[in-house]
Amino acid sequence: MLHSIRLAAELAAPAADIYAMYLDAKIHAAITGAPVKIGAREGAAFSAFGGALSGRLLRLVPGKVIVQTWRSNIFKPDDADSILVLTMLPQGRKTTLLDLQHINVPEQDYAGVSQGWEIYYFAPWREYLAKRHGKRSPKRAEMG
């Protein structure tokens, strides 16, 4: 059975910055604490966490949307890649609501992916931004 996940996180930076941070391998790695390979162009390969995550960038709308294929090392060899859609929604000039839609996540990885976004991406990203700005990080937001 395949699942879809929809989450959101409020991040204390402009949408264009959030977009650029995700696509910058050095900053992406600083946020997650693990090596990342990513290019800021459609068709570029993506890998993170020592290859535990991989995919390819399908569509980029600068400062607004990132669409990529995504699979973890938990996917079975015959599982199709899932699709990740990250949409940066400005909430004023200095805050972004990062809307995440993760489509076609296989049953065996659903719990890990559902919880993993907050643990491995959203919480560390808030901490990274808080350190950068010397502030406390905002709470997470969820979308249903």
Please report whether residue 100 resides in a domain.
yes
Q: What is the mean pLDDT of the chain?
A: 93
Dihedral angle, C-alpha 90, 64, 29, 50, nearest 10 °: 130
The CATH number covering residue 59 comes to: 3.30.530.20
Whole-number pLDDT of residue 136: 52
Residues 115, 131: Cα–Cα separation, whole Å:
23
Q: What is the DSSP string of 6-71?
A: EEEEEESS-HHHHHHHHH-HHHHHHHHTS-EE--SSTT-EEEETTTTEEEEEEEEETTTEEEEEEE
Please report whether residue 73 resides in a domain.
yes
Please report whether residue 144 resides in a domain.
no
Whole-number pLDDT of residue 133: 78
Band of residue 135 on the pLDDT scale cut at 50, 70, 90: low
Please report whether residue 19 resides in a domain.
yes
Q: How many domains does the chain have?
A: 1
Please report whether residue 110 resides in a domain.
yes
Q: Give the orientation angle of helix 25-32 with respect to helix 123-133, to 10 degrees.
A: 110
Please report whether residue 138 resides in a domain.
no
Please report whether residue 139 resides in a domain.
no
Range of the domain at 38: 2-133
Instruction: Record the pTM.
Output: 0.90
**pLDDT tens profile 80-122:** 999 999 999 999 999 999 999 999 999 999 999 999 999 999 9
Please report whether residue 27 resides in a domain.
yes
